[in-house]
Amino acid sequence: MSSGNPPWYVQDENGAFLVLEVPPRLKNHPEIVRRGLQLEPAYPMKVGVVYRSSHLINPQYVVKILDTDTEERDIYTRLLRDLRCPRNPAIPGELTPPEVDHPLLIMPALQRSGMLSILDASFYEMLGYCLQFMEGVEYLHDQHIVHLDLCTDNVVTASNVRPHPHPDVIPGKVYIIDFDSSRQLSLGPGAHPAIKLPPSQVPKPNGLEHLDPYSWDVYCAADVMREILRDSSPHQQEPLPIIARLYLAWLTGRERGCTEPCRCRPTARRARQVLVVMRWLVGIQEMCQGALRRATGMVQYLLSS
């Protein structure tokens, strides 16, 4: 097991990794002991970094061992101070005091964005989830924070259960997690030149490694929304509605490898503004279709009586 930053691995006497074991250093961390949390591995890809409290005990929490060589702790410190802002995409969590052993992030356990597919939601409602997500990206960019690894694994959703097991969590809200690759920048959207991007789950366009960081977030946001809408579709093999395909293509843009502030795609703010209008149009369409179905049913009833 590492003596410093994560990952903290547990090994047997032969040096084999015990992925189902919780590191003793984490189990004995003063803040874990004080809260009485019984931990277990959370996600296979996050072994040695992320753990969760027992699924048999409610409410459930996620514990992340923070890497002090990244900006994640500083970013969460800023975000957690502004939780009253409805656009803030950070989960209401808690940073352990730096003077109490290694810093941890303890936050409510929420479902991954892919779980939205179990909801019986209309296209209009799913666009509402996308709008929340886009508002969160815009908020981060307003704070000169770039995530740099936006993907469906880093987007979670609070259930609509009321009251929610975690009082500070807003039911139905979309949250963004995992800021270990994120950065705080001096320049804002539309003014920042390309930087070398960190590794990410979304492949880089054309294999490029240097891009405008804000523009890269928007590119990844398009991929996230495409997956959310596709997974939530009752006919997943069918193409998305044309209005969604046009919008996502606009966000993806035609990457030219700009070294200066990128103009290949819109800013998060502009993307959010257009999404508001698009969702409004879809809402009108669905309302008219519903009225037409009801009118058709009434006529058929009258003709058959």
Residue 163 pLDDT class (50, 70, 90 cuts): confident
Number of domains in the chain: 2
Q: Note the pLDDT tens digit of each residue in 92-137.
A: 999 999 888 999 999 999 877 545 544 567 889 999 999 999 999 9
Task: Determine the Cα–Cα distance for residues 228 and 226; give it in Å rounded to an integer.
Answer: 6
Q: Residue 68 to residues 16, 173, 292: CA-CA distances in angstroms? A: 26, 29, 58
Same domain, 127 and 219: yes
Q: Note the pLDDT tens digit of each residue in 169-212.
A: 999 899 999 999 999 999 999 999 999 999 999 999 988 999 99
Same domain, 182 and 273: yes
pLDDT, position 238: 72
pLDDT, position 46: 83
The amino acid that residue 116 corresponds to is L
Q: Residue 245 to residues 38, 161, 174, 217, 230: CA-CA distances in angstroms? A: 45, 32, 22, 18, 11
Q: 270 φ, ψ to 5°?
A: -65, -40
Same domain, 178 and 117: yes
Return mean pLDDT, the chain. Answer: 90
Of 76, 108, 140, the domain-final residue: 108
Of 108, 125, 159, the domain-final residue: 108
In a domain, 12, yes or no: no
